[in-house]
């Protein structure tokens, strides 16, 4: 198949020569993996081990702590956009592999009872045909054996894309956006901790909004994302 349909790199558009790779070798080498010290709360790069980032110093979070694989830059931005809007689900396997592999220590440390994707509003789901967070969460669940809990969070408000708003407006935009489906929640028995999955984390307002809903049911939240960007 790859001979008939040479696969293009989602970042630079060049033909990928290595079989089974989602990115070309050059772009893969440029991926901004976070390697140094991370914020103990949100996992953004910081100057020293054990420190909080500027954003987490300013804001209290409803989640306990999280993990991010890459920094948000033009390369990872393009990659996520391609995955999110073009329906290229074939990237999903590779993204799941990268995320699960790199966060294995984090998973061992927090031992979550369930994996929970950030839900899309039903109208947006219909429009796009899939939820990128759901695809990643299902993959993480399959790879780690952690229970998948994809139907307990509901998005009952159609929100404006968060990237268009400043920090205060982001919180307003998300207020009351998520709710818990009590009927579905009952199926899962005693869940005490959840790993919330999303593609991008910026100020954390989306993860926080989900964590607050889960907290109302006594569930402690952690999160994992592909990319983390700077807040405001
Ligand atoms: Zn490339
Ligand atoms: Zn932080």
Contacting residues for 71 by C-beta, under 8 A, at least 6 apart: 32, 34, 45, 227, 228, 229
Cα of 79 vs centre of ligand 1, distance in Å, is 10
CATH class of domain segment(s) 31-228: alpha beta
Cα of 228 vs centre of ligand 2, distance in Å, is 10
Mean predicted lDDT score pLDDT of the chain: 89
Residue 145 pLDDT level (bands cut at 50, 70, 90): very high
Cα of 40 vs centre of ligand 2, distance in Å, is 7
**Cβ < 5 A residues, ion ligand 1:** 9, 11-12, 24, 27
Cα of 201 vs centre of ligand 1, distance in Å, is 24
Confidence at residue 3, expressed as pLDDT on a 0 to 100 scale: 52
List, for residues 169-178, the tens digit of each pLDDT value. 877 777 788 9
Cα of 203 vs centre of ligand 1, distance in Å, is 28
Cα of 127 vs centre of ligand 1, distance in Å, is 28
List, for residues 51-99, the tens digit of each pLDDT value. 999 999 999 999 999 999 999 999 999 889 888 887 676 788 889 999 9
Percent of residues, the chain, with pLDDT higher than 70: 94
Confidence at residue 86, expressed as pLDDT on a 0 to 100 scale: 75
Q: Where are the domains of the chain?
A: 1-30, 31-228
């Amino acid at each position: 198949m790859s001979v008939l349909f040479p696969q293009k790199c989602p970042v630079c558009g060049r033909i990928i020569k290595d079989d089974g790779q989602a990115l070309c070798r050059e772009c893969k080498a440029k991926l901004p993996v976070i390697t140094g010290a991370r914020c103990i709360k949100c996992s953004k790069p910081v100057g020293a081990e054990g420190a909080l980032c500027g954003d987490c110093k300013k804001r209290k979070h409803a989640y306990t702590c999280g993990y991010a694989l890459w920094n948000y830059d033009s390369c990872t931005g393009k990659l996520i956009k391609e995955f999110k809007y073009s329906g290229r689900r074939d990237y999903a396997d590779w993204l799941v592999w990268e995320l699960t592999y790199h966060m294995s220590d984090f998973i061992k440390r927090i031992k979550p009872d369930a994996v929970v994707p950030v839900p899309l509003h039903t109208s947006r789901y219909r429009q796009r045909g899939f939820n990128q967070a759901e695809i990643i969460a299902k993959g993480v669940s399959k790879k780690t054996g952690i229970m998948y809990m994809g139907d307990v969070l509901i998005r009952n408000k159609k929100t404006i894309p968060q990237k268009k708003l400043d920090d205060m407006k982001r919180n307003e935009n998300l207020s009351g956006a998520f709710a818990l489906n009590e009927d579905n929640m009952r199926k899962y028995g005693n869940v005490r901790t959840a790993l919330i999955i999303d593609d991008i984390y910026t100020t954390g307002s989306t993860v926080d909004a989900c964590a607050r809903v889960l907290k109302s049911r006594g569930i402690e939240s952690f999160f994992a994302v592909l990319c983390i960007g700077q807040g405001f």
